[in-house]
Each structure stands twice: as C-alpha cells, then as structure tokens.
Structure 1
C-alpha cells in the first residue's frame, strides 16, 4: 500500500471518529465508536490516541469516554457564519438608508475575514479575492494593521497582485499598515478590483482591538464621495460595537 493511500485512510478514520463523537456527544466510548463504525478495535484505539495527542479529542474526567477538544474550535469557528444580532443589523440598515454606495460589515476571525452583513443592494463582486488576499482590500488591511503587533501580519511568499494597483511590496505595505494605525481607518482604490474603492473603519470595544470593519464601497471615481461620510461612519461604529462585542 502506498504512503498516500495509508495516510488518506488514517485521515478518513479520524474524520469518521470525530463525526461520531460530535453526534453521540460528550462521553462517547471507544466501544460505541467501534460498534457504530464497524472499525477494528486496534484502529479505533490508535486513532483515538492520535486525536487526543493533537487535542482534537479529550478524555472525559472519568477516563471512560471522549469529547471534542480545543483544537476543533478554530475549525468550528471557521465553518460557522458570523452571528450579527438583530439590533446590530437594524443599526447598519438605518445607516445604509438613502446611501448610494455599499455598506458592509466584515468580521475578523482567526486572522481572516468573514462577511457578516453584506449590503443587499450592492453586493461584493470579488468575494473570493477579498477573503483570500487581505492585503488587497481596505477591510483586510485594517485587520493586518491590528495583527501587526501580535502576529506576522501576512504570510511568507509573494503577495498576490490582483490589479496593477495592488500593493505587492512588503515594505510599502508595512508602511501603509503603520499609517492605518495612526489614521484609524483603511482605504483602497483599484487594488482589490479595477474600478472599485472602499474605506474600512474599525468596530470594537473602547481602547480594545477591532473585531470587525464597517466598509463603505463605491466605484473608484466616487471615492471622494464616500470619504465625506468618514465622521458619520466613525460615529456609527461606536454605536454598533456594543451590539457586536
């Protein structure tokens, strides 16, 4: 049997066992897993030991069963859509009313962007690019500026160039992140998508890190127009924060 086949089978066994523990709940025993999956006992125990060692599973206090572990929290968080309370949605909707540009709420989770409340009248065109390449969007740069003091702000390797205006020089990007921390908001013009522009304002507790961004987006030629709403957007984020955090 090849290395790939062996490890593919081990990964599948792990996923199947995690699924059973999630379904049966805290205290699921090795026997229950063996009986449910009709899997050899030796395979079950070997896989369980590996999952416990990697903290995907933990043993219950009586050592008789298993429960989902801490290492799964990141996966669960990534798979769960951000929750935006109705009160927060109402605040955002009121701010959107009468505006001729997009207003989006983007959450920061585990050093990644998540779309929490997308403007229904002005959809985000480059969703994949925004989520995958944070250095190219205003919301992403705001998040990177927040992360810079506690973690590497962007991964190793070349920065993807989405348009001719996308910043791909790390030194230039680091300088811009420093400016964002001073100004308290981020911007981009034609960097994520040719012909578009946006501003991003941090949403978080007073004197605390931002956990989200309020984004104003428009065609690039109307960027000056959305800049006129800078103070209104800042005021709105302070009203919005208590409902989110």
Structure 2
C-alpha cells in the first residue's frame, strides 16, 4: 500500500457514516430544536448511538446545540454541503456596482459570503475573474477570500491546503494569520500576485446595517504593481460604494 492509497474501511465504519448522514437528514427534515430522543425514535437508532453521532457532528460544527440545550440545529459547516445558489440582484445593487465600474479602469467584482464561501454574484463581464471553484476552495489567495477568513474564529476551518499558485503566494500559517489580523483591524484586504503573478486585488467588506455582520465583499482587481501602490483614492471609492450596497444586500 502506498501513501496515496485510501485507508480500508473497517466493518463498522460504513454503518457509522450512514448513521451520521441519517442524523443530518433528520435534523433538516424536523427543523431546529429536534431532540436526541426524537432523532433516536425516528431513525430507530439506539440512544447511545444517537448521542455519539450527535456529539461528533457538533464537534465538527455540522450541528449546533441550541442555547437551551434541549435540541439541535444545523451548524456552520452544514451549509457547505449544499450547492451555492447565486441570489438574484436588484436593479439598485447592479446600479451601484456599475457606477463604480464606470469610475475605474479596474475589474469590479461583488461576492456574497452567505454560504461561508466566496461566491461571485456580480463578476465584471469586461474583466473575467478566476474560476469560481478556485475562489471558493482557496480563499487565502484572493482579497475577497481574505476578508472572509479574517472574520473566522479559526481560519483553518476554511483553508485545508496552503498550496502555492505563484512565487508570491503566502504558504506560511503564521504569515497568513498576521495578515488576517491586520485585515480585521483596518477593513481592507490586499493581495499582490498570489493567484496570478500579474494581477492583484483590493477588497472591502459590505456589512449589514445595525448588525455589522459580514454579508458581502466588493473588490477591485488590476495590475499587481497598481495594487501594491498606496491608493487612498481608489480605496475611498471602494468603501463609499460598499457603504451604498450595505442596506441593499442586508
């Protein structure tokens, strides 16, 4: 057996996987607040098995215990099991993004973070971005992705592979952690040639009014040398339009 060969499943493991999937399905079908006893009865599973599976799914953040500890609901990671759905954008949202595009020669992209991934909901048609699956799988190499990671209690939950795309890609956990702390503090993400050596991006968060929660990100993408420059005017435009988008996307 080589290091690339899968580890053989023992006799009990396929059953354990099926039980975990069945419990997830039951929580989805029953809705938030379903109890361990109700899940056990519905699936005809021993209570000890049900509790064991629930504890595992909670530990892995596929489920969460409700505040009163009497039931369960879907957790953060469960949202990543569904295919992302691009929401329909209002005319007002498109007008704000198009206005920014008319003021700059850079690519302007709007992304949603509602699924816990970077999902482009209004990519610039004149400056096509990288493939969506790359943006979602490797958020650490994009400015929009760095915004998302900077909000996480532990960014490692969303980044499983610090692979290099270019010689400028950050592949050190310590360096990435330091970057994300700065981004969280200043509300501006910048990447210079980390995904494509000749391109870079600036991105600012779009936050829900009142709650301050991160709902989207607005990015400018252009030549890497321009991104690396001090560009207060461009950043000001970016922040102004992100503020205009906030009430429209909340």
1:168 positional shift = 2.8
**Among candidates 223, 233, 240, match of residue 238 of structure 2:** 233
1:16 positional shift = 3.8
Aligned pairs (5 A) from 1:162-181: 162-181=165-184
1:102 pairs with 2:104: no
Q: Does the Cα contact within 8 Å between 1:196 and 1:217 map onto a contact in 2? A: yes
> Structure 1: which 5+ residue stretches go unaligned?
35-40
Moved more, 44-53 or 89-98: 44-53
Aligned pairs (5 A) from 1:150-169: 151-154=153-156, 159-169=162-172
Q: Give the TM-score of the pair, scaled to structure 1.
A: 0.67
Bigger radius of gyration among the two: 1
- Provide closer, same or farther for how the CA distance between residues 231 and 243 of structure 1 changes in structure 2, counting only shifts above 3 A: same
Q: Does the Cα contact within 8 Å between 1:130 and 1:137 map onto a contact in 2? A: yes
**Among candidates 197, 202, 205, match of residue 202 of structure 1:** 205
Aligned pairs, how many?
Answer: 226
CA RMSD for the aligned pairs?
Answer: 4.4
1:5 pairs with 2:11: yes
Aligned pairs (5 A) from 1:88-167: 88-97=93-102, 100-108=105-113, 112-121=116-125, 122-147=127-152, 151-154=153-156, 159-167=162-170
Aligned equivalents of 1:17, 1:158: Cα separation in 2:
29
**Among candidates 66, 74, 85, match of residue 81 of structure 1:** 85
Q: Give the TM-score of the pair, scaled to structure 2.
A: 0.66
> Structure 2: which 5+ residue stretches go unaligned?
1-7
Aligned equivalents of 1:140, 1:31: Cα separation in 2:
39
**Among candidates 204, 220, 224, match of residue 216 of structure 1:** 220
